[in-house]
Structures are given as C-alpha cells and as structure tokens.
Structure 1
Amino acid sequence: MDRLGAFYDRFILAHPALVLIAFGLLLAATALGFSQFRLDASAESLVLENDRSLEQYRQVNRTFTTSDDFLVVTYTPEQELFTEQGLARLAALRDELAALEAVGSTNSILNVPLLHSPDLTLDTVNSEIKTIDGDQVPPETARDALLANPMYPNLLISKDAGTTAIQVNLPTPDKYFELLNQRDQLREKVNNGDASAEDRRELEQVSQAFIRYTEQLGEERDQTIGQVRDILDNYRDQATIHLGGVPMIVADMIRFIENDLSTFGLGVLAFLLLTLAVIFRQWRWVLVPLLCCSFTVWLMVGFLGWAQWPVTVISSNFISLLLIMTLSLTIHLIVRYREFQHDEPQAEPRDILRRTLLAMIKPCFYMAITTIVAFGSLTFSGIRPVIDFGWMMTAGLSVAFLITFLIFPALLRLLPPPVDQRITSNRIPFTDYFARFTERFGGTVLVGSGVLAVLCVIGLNRLTVENSFIDYFKADTEIHQGMITIDDRLGGTTPLDVVITDEPAPEDAGGDPFASDCDPFVEDCGDEEYRDTWYTYQKMQQLEQVHEYLDSLPETGKVLSIDTTLALLAQVNGGEPLDALELAFVPAAVPDNLKDILLTPYIAEDADKARFSIRILETLPSLRRQELLDEIRTHLTEELGYEDDRVLLAGMTVMYNNMLQSLFDSQIKTIGVVFGAILLMFLLLFRSVKLALVGLAPNLIAAGSVLGLMGWLGIPLDMMTITVAAITVGIAVDDTIHYIHRFKTEFARDGDYLATMHRCHQSIGQAMFFTSLTIIIGFSILALSNFIPTIYFGLFTGFAMFMALLGALTLLPRLIILTRPFGSRA
C-alpha cells in the first residue's frame, strides 16, 4: 500500500490536470474508430464456434441454386382477390416492387405457369403454358388452376384464396461469395498452421475487404427494404400487408440493436443520473460518475471500431452493462469518501481522497477480477456471439476499473466536494432493518434460504431451451405479425432442407443402362449396373415415401420436392402417374424455362443429390426442434433404409437448433467455471476455506433463483438469458467481497460479531443498497425494448440483483455470525 500511496501522491494527486490532458488525447485517438463501429445480425453471428452447419447450408444453396435472400410480401385484400380489379391492383404492387434497382426478380401468382389448359399434355406443355400476366385467363379460371396445382397452395396462395404472397428476390452479388470463400480458405490455412507470413497478410486484407463489402451490401439492403416499405404503405388502405423474409428480419434486428444501444443506453444513463441526484444531492457526485461512465463507453466503442469487432444481438447490451458496472465502482468510492468526510470534516480533501483510494482499491480490484472471471466464463460457451460478449465485457471491465482509480481521483482532485452536512441524514434505515431482522430471526433466514434453494433446484429441472423465434418479438412488430400470417396461411416460416445423396456408382459400372437384362427404370439393378440418374421408377418411389412422411409431420407446413413436380406432371398427363419410361424423359419433357422451378431446386444430378424443401410452423406451441430433427433422421435411416451419411439436414432451422441445444451444456460450463473461479478468488482474498464457502452461498442463491424462476415460469433459455446467471454471479459477488472486507475491518475494533454486523449494514450496506438500486432501475429500462430476450435480460438481471442484495444483507451476515470465521468474540 505504501508504494501505491506513493504512486498516487507523485502522479495522480499531484498532477491531475496533466493526467486529464493525457487521457483526453487517448479519447481523441479512440474516437477515430467510431466510424468503423458496426452491428451484425447475420447468420454467422448466431452460430456455434466451428459449426459446420453454416457451410452445409451454403453448400446446399449452391448445389440447388436456391437462396433465402428474398423478401415475402403477404397480401390480403379487403375485397375479392380474383377479380379484374383485384388482380390489377396486385400487379401494380408487384410492378413497383420489381422496378427497384436491387430487386432481381419477383415470383407471384401473376407470373407462375398455371398449367390449366385442356389441351395441355406432356407433349404440348411447352406451347400450352399460360400465366395471368401473359394470357387472357379469366380470374375464376386462374383461381381454380392455382388451387389445383400441388405446388402453389399454402405457398404462393392460401387454401381459401384470400391471401397471396409476392416473393421479392434480392440476389447477393458473386463478389460476396468470392471474398467469403477466399477468406475461409485463408483462415483454414492459418488454423492448420500451413500459412506463410504473406498468407496472413492476405487474410487480413481479404477480411477487411469482406467486412467493408458486407457493410456496403447491408446499407444497400436496408435502403431497399425501406423503399419496399414505402411502396407497401401506398397499398395498405385496401389490403392487410405484412413484410417478412430473412433479409427483413436481419435488418429489423439490427434496428433493434441500434435502438438498444442508443435509446436504452441513454435511458439507463438518465436513470442513473436521477438516482445519483436523489441519493447524494450534490452536482459533483452526479458529474464525476457521469464522466467516468461516459469515458468507459467512449473507449470501448472506439476500441471495438479499431478492432473491427462487431456488436451482435447478444452483446448489444454491453453499453448498459458498462455504464452500470462503472457506476457501481464509483458509488463505492463516493460512499467511502463521504464516510471519511463525515468522520473528519476538517481534513484536507486530498487526504480524504487518498485514504478513500487506498481503502477501496483492494476490494474493488477483487470485485473487478471476479466480475471479469464471470464474464470471461462466457468464452467457454461454444456460441460465437456469447464468446464475443464475454471478451467485450472482460475488456470493458478492465477499462472501467482503470478509469475509476485513475480518472475519478483526478477529476475529484480538481473538483473537491465540500463537506455535506446532510451526510448523516442520508443514512437510510432500510439496511438497519435487515440487520435487526437477521439478529432476531437468524433461524428463519437459514430455513428460508434452504427452502429457496430447494425451489431453485426444482425450477432448474424444469428449465428448457425450446422456444419459438417468433416469441423474440412483441406482438405489434411487423416480424411477429408477418410470421403468424405466413405460418397460418402460407406454409410456414423457418426453412429446413433434407438432402439425400444417391448411392455412388461403382468404378467399373458401364454407362449403358440397357447393357443387361435389368430394366433400370423399373427395378434396382444393384451396384453392378446403372446408377447415373435419379429418374428411375424405384428411386422416385423412395423419394415419394420421404415426401409423404415429411408432409405428414404436424410441425411441417409446405413441403416441396421432386414429388411435387411429378404430381404436377401427372395432372398434365391426364391425372395418371408417370410410368417408368415417362419418368426417364422428364428432364427432356420439362421446358427449359420451367426447369429452374420444377427440377433444379430438387434434383442435382451432377451432385447425385435430391432435396426436400420444408417450411417449419414456427408458431406451433408443441414445436420441439431437436426432437423433430432426430425423428426425421431416425425415420429416414431406420424405416426407409437410407444410410446415415447419405442424409443431411440443413438450413436455418438446424443452425438455430444447434445454438439452442448448446445452451444447456454451455450454461453448465459457464456456471461451473464462474463458481470455481470465484471460490478460488475468495480463497486467495480471504485465506480461509470457511469464509470462502460462506461468501459463495448468497451468490449460489442469487444465480439459482434466476434460473429457477425461469423454470417455474416456463420461460426457456435463449441466446441472451443464457448470460444472465453468469452475469448475476459476477455482479452479485461485488456485494459479498465488499461486505466481508468491511466486516473484517470493523471486527478488529471490538471483536463483537453482532455489533460489527450493525456497523457494516450502516456503512457498506448503504453503498450496496445504492449500487443495487441503480442496477435494478437501470436494467428495468430494457423492458421497453421490442426484442423479447432483451426484456427478459433486463428483468431477470434486476431480479437477480435484488436477490443478491437480499442474500448479502441477511444470509451472508447470518452465516458469518454462525461460523465465526474471524475467531471467537473478543
């Protein structure tokens, strides 16, 4: 402490102006990174670390020339759709959307082939195809043709023909995929240890180019979505219109993140200012903490910009957290300063400040370290955005601690607060009540804590991770309303692809399908014979079985596959299923302009793969993604006889499910690491196993109460609430450290445990109360978000802090009195 005191005397307290000038230069330097600060809600930001599902998803899209880069406009007119006026208004809307620069094409009931002509056969399909756009098809005839087509109902048109959809395709430029592939190849080289210095430099350049190009595309897409919304607003007077699709969801999630960063960051700051003004009633005690909080956020935003480290949905609350954590540190210093000021009102402000810093730096250091450990434990989660969040908060807390013990004293040295005669009146009786209650009802405290622990364990056993993506958004948001409409009327929202790979042909197989007595179009000729086509009778029968099974599942909406195409061609064929010979000539019979609709999305003969495109009903209450995926794989492998390595499940459903299912495992890892590390820190700090275990107890109750309450209320873990327990422990342990540290100091005065408890409640208990109050109020602001996980994050963190304060003011002192870790009473 002597060296630390000398450091403060020689540098910080002696030259506060120079310290602030040097710090101002640092702020100016980091401000240059503001322009590079960015937000990310892409698929990459929501996947597991090293999750192969993202690459599989992209590979499926490349193989079958499909993409989820499209907007869906649901259109439900107030009047009948299938009239001349109704279709004309729909066409006008479609034409305005198609005219946008970024729109590659549109699909709707207006331009899809109706295939309704009585003269239509497999031989005349190329000449008899009609569309509403290109032919004078009566509206009623068009309606019947669309509903009779197995491909369109529950996809482009609802079964009652009251709602239709316009698919607005937003093609991603080839340059994006070129940069992505180049970056991934270089990353793989670096990860394998095969990269040269030049490769590493190239990786840095390509990564920067990819980030810049992604930001450019994001800005252009946001602009396009805004233009689409402007167009839709002109048609809402006569129809109910909703906008959906992955690009729109990504854009809106980024907008929610921006709102959470700005609105709630400012909202939390305003509440904190109000709290400081009410508690301390001196402008210096408002201004100085405000500057420290602002400096912490300033430095971190600049650093994240310099490091090209994007903020995701999960880490969007880091500004609010940094504000609250920095304020927590400064409040402890303020309360201690005022205590010294009250005890010795004639002392010099510099001496009081020096004593405050030396008295508080040790508990605050251990407080910061344990909180850093709590956030650092998130890096064990295996979920990319959770890992990033952990590292961000680790860096942020380090900055907060340094600012509190370097900039706070420099500011206070230049703005010394006068002695406040109201300090004694600021002592709130609230903490005294807790001390008296703990003294009189110590047994009740222990029994109540035990009952609460049992309830927490029961609640933990009820905790799940199955939740619906639609539940992330409030009911009045367009994402929520659009998902309901698409689920209920247009075949489901979340995409799932089931891809089956054909058995490989043997190396010595001949190319002539008629070289043996076996007819390859009717029967399976075995490994020795022809396997070069999917269009055999037996293979199509097998794919039909898969299609019928997938379509029978209650969780699936619209299912599209080659079986859908064959059912359509059977209609064209007079209602008769295609025979083996007709099947063989399907690729030749389908016109070239229809192959991209009827064939290539479902059969990739070059890759020997068949695809089933499924839409999952996201609003189904009984949806259990992991059970569904396991059931599909089991049925295909055990019931239908496909080898496991020939079945691939891909798409957004799989990636989102992978993240959800990792939550349980990561929660166990993070909580285990947190408590293990905190126990170690307690042992180092207090040098007593008994005291370390005593200090751990209220933190276990606080973390368990959050997860237990979620289990009792049936609220599943999601990508944000997973962090609450670890964060709770990290913040709640602050109270434990400060209380035990003060208890040890006060106990040395008279060796009386009960008297020491009352003094601690009147001193450090006040700081704990003020800190917890500001945290609870600050996090309550997040309840105003449109993003439901953010709301849960705010409410549950506030609840956890209340439980932590309750435990620190009742259970902790009761256990100290019971176990007497500081020795017998003097």
Structure 2
Amino acid sequence: MNRIGAFYDRFILPHPWIVLVLFGAILALAALRFDQFRLDASAESLVLENDRSLEEYRQVNRTFTTSDDFLVVTYTPHEPLFTAEGLSRLKALRDELQALEAVSSTNSILNVPLLHSPDLTLDTVDTEIKTLDEHEVAPETARQALLDNPMYPNLLLSEDAGTTAIQVNLPTPERYFELLNRRDGLRDKVNSGNASADDQRQLEQVSQEFIRYTESLGKERDATIKKVRVILDNHREHASIHLGGVPMIVADMIRFIQNDLSTFGLGVLAFLLLTLAVIFRQWRWVLVPLLCCGFTVWLMIGFLGWAQWPVTVISSNFISLLLIMTLSLTIHLIVRYREFQHDEPDAAPRDVLRRTVMAMIKPCFYMAITTIVAFGSLTFSGIRPVIDFGWMMTLGLSVAFIITFLVFPALLSLLPPPLDSRVTSDRIPFTDAFARFTERFGGTVLVGSGVIAVLCVIGLNRLTVENSFIDYFKSSTEIHQGMITIDDRLGGTTPLDVVITDEPPPENYSDDPFASDCDPFVEDCDEEDYRDTWYTYQKMRQLGDVHDYLNSLPETGKVLSISTTLDLLAQINGGTPLNAVELAFVPAAVPDDLQDILLTPYISEEQSQARFSIRILETMPDLRRQDLLDRIHNHLTTDLGYAPERVQLSGMTVMYNNMLQSLFDSQIKTIGVVFAAIMVMFLILFRSLKLALIGMAPNLIAAGSVLGLMGWLGIPLDMMTITVAAITVGIAVDDTIHYIHRFKTELAKDGDYLATMHRCHRSIGQAMFFTSLTIISGFSILVLSNFIPTIYFGLFTGFAMFMALVGALTLLPRLIVLLKPFPAP
C-alpha cells in the first residue's frame, strides 16, 4: 500500500491536468475507430463453439440449390382474393416489390404453374402449363387449381384461400460465399497449425474483406427492407399485411440491439444520474460518476472498433452493465469520501481524497477481481456469443477499475467538493432497520434463508430450456405477428431439413441392369436396390414412407419432398400413380423451367441425397425441439431401417436447438466455475475458510433465487437469461467483499460484534443500499425493450440485486455475529 500511496502522491494528485490530458489522448485514439463498431445478428453469432451445423446447413443449401435468403409477405385482403379486383391488387403489390433493385425474383400464386388444363398430361405438361400472369384464367378456376395442387396449400395459399404469400427473393451474391469459404479454409489451416506466415497474413486480409463486404451487404439489405415496408404500407388499406423471413428477422434484431445499446444505454445512464442527484444532491457527485462511466464505455466501444469485435444479441447489454459496474465503484468512493469529510471537516481536500483512495482501493480491487472472475466464467460456456460476452465484460471491468482510480481522484483534485452538512442527516433508517432486525430476529433470518434455499432448489429442478423463438418478441412487433400468421395459415415458420443419403452399392455390385433377375425400373423388387438413381419404385416408396411420417407429426406444418412432386405428377397423370417405367423417366419428363421447382430442391443425383423440407409450427405451445428431432431420427433409423450415418437433420431448427440444449449444461458449468473461483478468491482475500464460507452464503442465495424464480414462473433459460446467474454473483459479491472488509476494520476499534454490525450498516450499508438502488432503477428501464430476453435480463438482474442486498444486510452479518470468524483484537 505504501508504494500505491507514493504513486498517487507523486503522479496523480499533484498533476491532475497531466493525467486528464494523457487520458484524453487515449480517448481520441479510441474514437478513431468508432465507425468500425458493428453489430451482428447473423446465424454465426448464435451457434455453439465449433458447431458444424452451420456448415452442414450451408452445404445442404448448396447441394439442393435452396436458400432462406427471401422475405415473406403475407397478404390477407379485406375482400375476397379470387376476384378480378382482388388479384389485380395483389399483382400491383407484387410488381412494386419485384421492381426493387435488390430483388431477383418473386414467387406467388400469380406466377406459379396452375396445372389445371383438362388437356394436361405427362406428355403435354411442357405446353399446357398456365399461370395467372400469362394466361386468361377465371379466378375461381385458378383458386381451385391452386388448392388442388399438393405443393401450394399451406405454403403460398391458406387452405381457405383467404391468405396468400409473396416470396421476395434477395439472393446472397456469390462473392459472399467466395470470401466465406476462403476465410474458413485459411482459419482451419491456422487452427491446425499448418499455416505459414503468409497464410496468416492472408487470413487477416480475407477476414477484414469479409467483414467489410458483410457490412455493405447488410446495409443494402436494410435499405431494401425499408423500401419493402414503405411499399407494404401503401397497400394496407385493402389488406392485412405482415412481413417475415430470415433477412427481415436479422434486420429487426440488429435494430433491437441498436435500441438497447443507444436508447437503453442512455436511458440507464439517465436513470442512474437522476438517482445520484436525488441521493447526494450535489452536482460534483453527478458529474464525476458521469465522466467515469462515459469514459469507460467510450474506451470499450473504441477498442471493439479497433479489434473488429462485433456486438451480438447476447452482449448487447454490455454498455448498461459497464455503466452500472463503474457507477458502483464510484458510489463506494463517494460515500467513503463524504464519511472522511464529515469525520474531519477541517482536513485538506487532498488529504481526504488520498485517505479515500487508500481506504477503498483494496476492497474495490478485490471487488473488481471477483467480478471479473464471475464474468470470466462465461468463457467456459459452449456458446460463441456467450464466450465473447464474458471476454468483453472481463476487459471492460478492468478498464472501469483503472478509470475509476485514475480519473476520479484527478477530477476531485481539480473540483474538490465542499463539506456537505447533510451527511449526518442522510443516514438511512432503512439500513438501521435491517441491523436491528438482524440483531433481534437472528433465528428468523437463518430459518428464512433456509426456506428460501429449499424453494430455490425446487425451482431449479423446474427449469427448462424449451422456448419458442416467437417468444423473444413482443406481440406488438411485426416479427411476432408475422410468425403467427405464417404458422396458422401458411404452414409453419422455422425451417428443418431432413437429408437422406443413398446407400452405397456393395463391393460385388455390378451396374449391369441385366445382372439381376429383378429390374427395379419395371418391377417392385424386394431385395436392396443399388441403381445409381433415386427414380426407382422401391426408393420412391421408401421416401414416401418418410414423407408420410414427417407430415403426420403434430409439430410440422408444410412438408415438401420428391413425394410432393410425384403426387403432383400423378394428378397430371389422371390420378394414377406413376409406375416403375414412368418413374425412371421423371427427370426427362419434367420441363427444364420446372426442374428447379419440382426436382432439384429435393433430389441430388450428384450427391446421392434426397431432401425433405419441413416447416416447424413455432407457435405450438408444447413444442419440444430436442424431443422432435430425436423422434424423427429414431423413427428413420429404427422403424424405417436407414443407417444412422445416412440420416442428417439440418437447418435453423437444428442450430437453434443445439444452442438451447447447451444452455442447461452451460449454466451448471458456468455457475460451478463461478462459485469455485470466488471461493478460491475469498480464501486468498480473507485467509480464513470460515469467513470464505460465510461470504459465499448470501451469494448462493442471490444466484439461486433468480434461477429458482425462473423455474417457479415457468420461464425457460434462453440465450440472455443464461448469463443472469453469473452476473448476479459477480455483482452481489461486491456487497459481500465491501461489508466483510469494513466489518474487519470497524471490529478492530472495540471488538464488539453487535456494535460493529450497527456501525457497518450505517456506513458501508449506505453505499451498498445506494449502489443497489441505482442498479435496480437503471435496469428497470430495460422493460421497455421489444426484445423479451432483454426485458427478462433487466427484471431478473434487478431482483437479484435486491436479494443480494437483503442477504448482505441480514444473513451475512448474522453469520458473522454467530460464528465470530475474526481473531480477537
């Protein structure tokens, strides 16, 4: 401590202007990269670490020439759709959307083949196809043709023909995938340890180019979506219209993140400063914390810009957390300064400031270290954005501590506050009441804590991780409303692909079609069929069984596969299913302009794979994704006999489920690491096992109460609430450290545990109360977010702080008084 005191005496306190000027230069350097600060809500930002599902998903899209890069416009006219006027209005909307520069094409009931002509057969399909766009088709005839077609109902048209959809295709340029593949290839090479220095330089260059290209592409997408919304607004007079699709969800989530970063970051700051003004009623005690908090956030945003480190949905609250953690440090300094100032009113301001810094740097350092450990535990999670959040907060807390103990004393050296006569009158009866209650009802405190602990354990056992993506958004948002419409009327929202790979032929297999007594092109063979094509009777029958099973599941909406195409061709064939010979010639019979609609999305002869496109009903109350995926995989591998390695489940449903299922394991792992690390920290700090165990008790109650309450209320863990328990421990441990440190200091005066408890409640208890009050007040503004996980984050963090404060003012002092862990003075 003598060296620290000498450092302040020599460099900080005599030269505050130099400190602030040097610090200003650092702030200016950070500001140079503010424009590089970016947000990320892409699929990569929500997958597990080393999860291959994203690459598998992209590979399936490449193999079957499919993509989720499209917007979905749901259109429910106020008047009947299938009238000349109704179809004309739909066409006007479609034409305006299709005219946008970024839109490559649109799909709707206007341009899809109706296949209704009485002269239509497999032989004439190429010449008898009609569309509403190009032919004169009576509206009622078109309506019936669309409803009779197995592909369109619950996809482009609701079963009652009252709602239709326009698919607005926004293809991702090939340049994106070129850069992505180059980056991933170089990254794998570097991770394997086989990269040269040139490879590493190329990786850095390609990564930067990919980031720039992704940002420009994102801006173009945002601009296009805004134009789409303007067009839709002009047509809402005659119809109920909703916008959906992955690009729109990504754009809106980024907008929500921006709101949480800017609106709620400033809102939290305003709330905190208002609370400071009410509590301390002196402008210096508002300005100094404001500058410390602002500088911390400023430096972190600049650093993230320099490091090209994006903020994701999960880490979007890091600004609010940094504001609160920095404010917590400054409040403890303010309260201690005012105490010293009151105890020695004639002391020089610099002496009061020096005593404050020397008295608080040790407990605040311990507080910062243990909080860093708590947030650092998030890096043990298996979820990439959670890991990034842990590192961001670890670095941010280090910056907050350094700024607090450099800028705070420098500012107060230039702006020494006058003696505040209200310090004595500011004694809060709230903390005194807790001291009296703890003294008189110590047994009640222990029993009550035990009851809360039991309730927490029961609540923990009720925790789940199954939640619907739709539940992340308020019912007033377009994402929520669009998902409901698509789920209820257009066959489901979240995509799931089931891909089956054809079985390779045995070693002794001969491709001579006459080598076997059974020809699968013309017969229904009982033995295995190894023909180098999917279009055989036996294989199509097997795929039909898969399709029927998937379609029978209550969680699935629209299911499309080659079986859908065969049903359509059977309809064209006069209602007669195709025989073995006709099946063999399906690829040749389907016109070239229909191949991309009827064949290539479902069969890849080159990769020997068949694909089933499924839409999951996201709004289904009993949706259990993991159970659904397990049932599908088990049925295909057990009941239908496919080898496990031949069955692949892919798509957004799988990636999202992987993240969800990792949450519970990650939560246990994270909390376990937090408490183990903090226990070690307490042993180092307090050098007493008894005191370390006492200090852990209120933190266990605070963290357990949050998770237990979630379990009792039936609120599942999600990508945001997973972090609350670790954050709770990180913040709650601050109160524990400050209280124990002050208790040890005060006890040395007279050795009286009860008197010491009352003195601590009137001194450090006030700082704890002020800190908790400002944190709870600040986080309460997050309830205004449109992102439900952010709302839960604010509510549960506020609740956790309340429980931590109550525990630190009741259970902690009761255990200290009961067990007397400090050596006799």
Amino acid at match of 1:436: R
Conserved 8 A contact 2:27-2:298: yes
Aligned partners of 2:490, 2:530: CA distance in 1, in Å? 40
For residue 311 of structure 1, what is the aligned residue in structure 2? 311
For residue 707 of structure 2, what is the aligned residue in structure 1? 707
CA deviations over 1:400-439 (Å, ceiling 9, x no partner): 0000001110011000001011111111111000000000
Aligned identity (percent) is: 83
Aligned partners of 1:525, 1:354: CA distance in 2, in Å? 91
Aligned partners of 1:52, 1:111: CA distance in 2, in Å? 37
SS of 1:463's equivalent? coil
Aligned partners of 2:135, 2:556: CA distance in 1, in Å? 34
Aligned partners of 2:310, 2:345: CA distance in 1, in Å? 49
What is the CA distance between 1:513 and its match in structure 2? 2.4
What is the CA distance between 1:639 and its match in structure 2? 0.3
SS of 1:423's equivalent? helix
For residue 182 of structure 1, what is the aligned residue in structure 2? 182
For residue 732 of structure 1, what is the aligned residue in structure 2? 732
Aligned partners of 2:309, 2:702: CA distance in 1, in Å? 32
For residue 208 of structure 1, what is the aligned residue in structure 2? 208
Q: Does 1:129 align with 2:129?
A: yes
Aligned partners of 1:731, 1:783: CA distance in 2, in Å? 20
Alignment of 1:786-805 (within 5 A): 786-805=786-805
Conserved 8 A contact 1:513-1:530: no
For residue 773 of structure 2, what is the aligned residue in structure 1? 773
For residue 52 of structure 1, what is the aligned residue in structure 2? 52
Conserved 8 A contact 1:519-1:525: no
State the TM-score, normalized to the length of structure 2.
Answer: 0.99
What is the CA distance between 1:599 and its match in structure 2? 0.3
Aligned partners of 1:391, 1:352: CA distance in 2, in Å? 36
Unaligned stretches of 5+ residues in structure 2: none
Aligned partners of 1:91, 1:426: CA distance in 2, in Å? 70
For residue 251 of structure 1, what is the aligned residue in structure 2? 251
Aligned partners of 2:100, 2:511: CA distance in 1, in Å? 48
What is the CA distance between 1:331 and its match in structure 2? 0.2
Conserved 8 A contact 2:504-2:530: no
What is the CA distance between 1:380 and its match in structure 2? 0.5
For residue 640 of structure 1, what is the aligned residue in structure 2? 640
Conserved 8 A contact 1:557-1:614: yes
Aligned partners of 1:725, 1:813: CA distance in 2, in Å? 23
Q: Does 1:664 align with 2:664?
A: yes
SS of 1:495's equivalent? strand
SS of 2:388's equivalent? helix
For residue 393 of structure 1, what is the aligned residue in structure 2? 393
Alignment of 1:438-449 (within 5 A): 438-449=438-449
What is the CA distance between 1:33 and its match in structure 2? 1.1
Is the alpha carbon distance of 1:108 and 1:680 closer, same or farther for their aligned partners in structure 2, counting shifts above 3 Å? same
What is the CA distance between 1:508 and its match in structure 2? 5.5
CA deviations over 1:360-391 (Å, ceiling 9, x no partner): 00000010000000110000111011000000
Conserved 8 A contact 1:76-1:239: yes
Amino acid at match of 1:261: L
Aligned partners of 2:663, 2:605: CA distance in 1, in Å? 38
Aligned partners of 1:345, 1:302: CA distance in 2, in Å? 41
What is the CA distance between 1:515 and its match in structure 2? 4.0
For residue 7 of structure 2, what is the aligned residue in structure 1? 7
Q: Does 1:432 align with 2:432?
A: yes
Amino acid at match of 1:392: M
For residue 278 of structure 2, what is the aligned residue in structure 1? 278
Alignment of 1:618-633 (within 5 A): 618-633=618-633
Q: CA RMSD in A?
A: 0.9
What is the CA distance between 1:524 and its match in structure 2? 4.5
What is the CA distance between 1:518 and its match in structure 2? 1.8
SS of 1:106's equivalent? strand
For residue 545 of structure 2, what is the aligned residue in structure 1? 545
For residue 649 of structure 2, what is the aligned residue in structure 1? 649
For residue 490 of structure 1, what is the aligned residue in structure 2? 490
SS of 1:243's equivalent? strand
Conserved 8 A contact 1:375-1:391: yes
Amino acid at match of 1:585: F
SS of 2:422's equivalent? coil
CA deviations over 1:237-275 (Å, ceiling 9, x no partner): 010000000000000000000000000001001011101
Conserved 8 A contact 1:520-1:530: no
CA deviations over 1:113-143 (Å, ceiling 9, x no partner): 0001111111111011111111100000000
Aligned partners of 2:203, 2:401: CA distance in 1, in Å? 35
State the TM-score, normalized to the length of structure 1.
Answer: 0.99
Conserved 8 A contact 1:510-1:530: no
SS of 1:491's equivalent? coil
Conserved 8 A contact 2:738-2:764: yes
SS of 2:613's equivalent? strand
Aligned partners of 1:742, 1:421: CA distance in 2, in Å? 23
What is the CA distance between 1:504 and its match in structure 2? 1.2
Aligned partners of 2:267, 2:168: CA distance in 1, in Å? 37
What is the CA distance between 1:224 and its match in structure 2? 0.2
Count of residues paired in the alignment: 824
Aligned partners of 2:22, 2:309: CA distance in 1, in Å? 26
What is the CA distance between 1:681 and its match in structure 2? 0.5
What is the CA distance between 1:520 and its match in structure 2? 1.9
For residue 21 of structure 2, what is the aligned residue in structure 1? 21
Conserved 8 A contact 1:374-1:730: yes
What is the CA distance between 1:514 and its match in structure 2? 3.4
Aligned partners of 2:396, 2:70: CA distance in 1, in Å? 38
SS of 1:203's equivalent? helix
Amino acid at match of 2:451: V
Q: Does 1:467 align with 2:467?
A: yes
Conserved 8 A contact 2:520-2:580: no
Unaligned stretches of 5+ residues in structure 1: none
Alignment of 1:507-526 (within 5 A): 509-521=509-521, 522-524=523-525
Aligned partners of 2:720, 2:783: CA distance in 1, in Å? 14
Aligned partners of 1:11, 1:404: CA distance in 2, in Å? 16
Conserved 8 A contact 2:703-2:725: yes
Aligned partners of 1:204, 1:724: CA distance in 2, in Å? 34
Amino acid at match of 1:421: S
SS of 2:535's equivalent? coil
Q: Does 1:338 align with 2:338?
A: yes
Aligned partners of 1:606, 1:512: CA distance in 2, in Å? 20
Amino acid at match of 2:380: F
Amino acid at match of 1:808: A
What is the CA distance between 1:497 and its match in structure 2? 0.1
Conserved 8 A contact 2:503-2:530: no
Conserved 8 A contact 2:73-2:244: yes
For residue 149 of structure 2, what is the aligned residue in structure 1? 149
What is the CA distance between 1:517 and its match in structure 2? 2.4
Conserved 8 A contact 1:380-1:669: yes
Aligned partners of 1:149, 1:201: CA distance in 2, in Å? 55
Alignment of 1:104-119 (within 5 A): 104-119=104-119
For residue 379 of structure 1, what is the aligned residue in structure 2? 379
SS of 1:176's equivalent? helix
Aligned partners of 1:789, 1:366: CA distance in 2, in Å? 31
For residue 689 of structure 2, what is the aligned residue in structure 1? 689
Aligned partners of 1:799, 1:681: CA distance in 2, in Å? 25
Aligned partners of 1:370, 1:2: CA distance in 2, in Å? 24
Q: Does 1:80 align with 2:80?
A: yes
CA deviations over 1:607-660 (Å, ceiling 9, x no partner): 000000000000000000000000000000000000000000000000000000
For residue 30 of structure 1, what is the aligned residue in structure 2? 30
Moved over 6 A (4+): none
CA deviations over 1:693-725 (Å, ceiling 9, x no partner): 000000000000000000000000000000000
Amino acid at match of 2:759: R
Conserved 8 A contact 1:561-1:602: yes
CA deviations over 1:272-326 (Å, ceiling 9, x no partner): 1101101111100100000000000000000000000000000000000000000
Conserved 8 A contact 2:314-2:386: yes
SS of 2:74's equivalent? strand
CA deviations over 1:753-781 (Å, ceiling 9, x no partner): 00000000000000000000000001111
What is the CA distance between 1:526 and its match in structure 2? 5.5
Conserved 8 A contact 1:467-1:718: yes
For residue 451 of structure 2, what is the aligned residue in structure 1? 451
SS of 2:262's equivalent? helix
For residue 321 of structure 2, what is the aligned residue in structure 1? 321
Conserved 8 A contact 2:100-2:224: yes
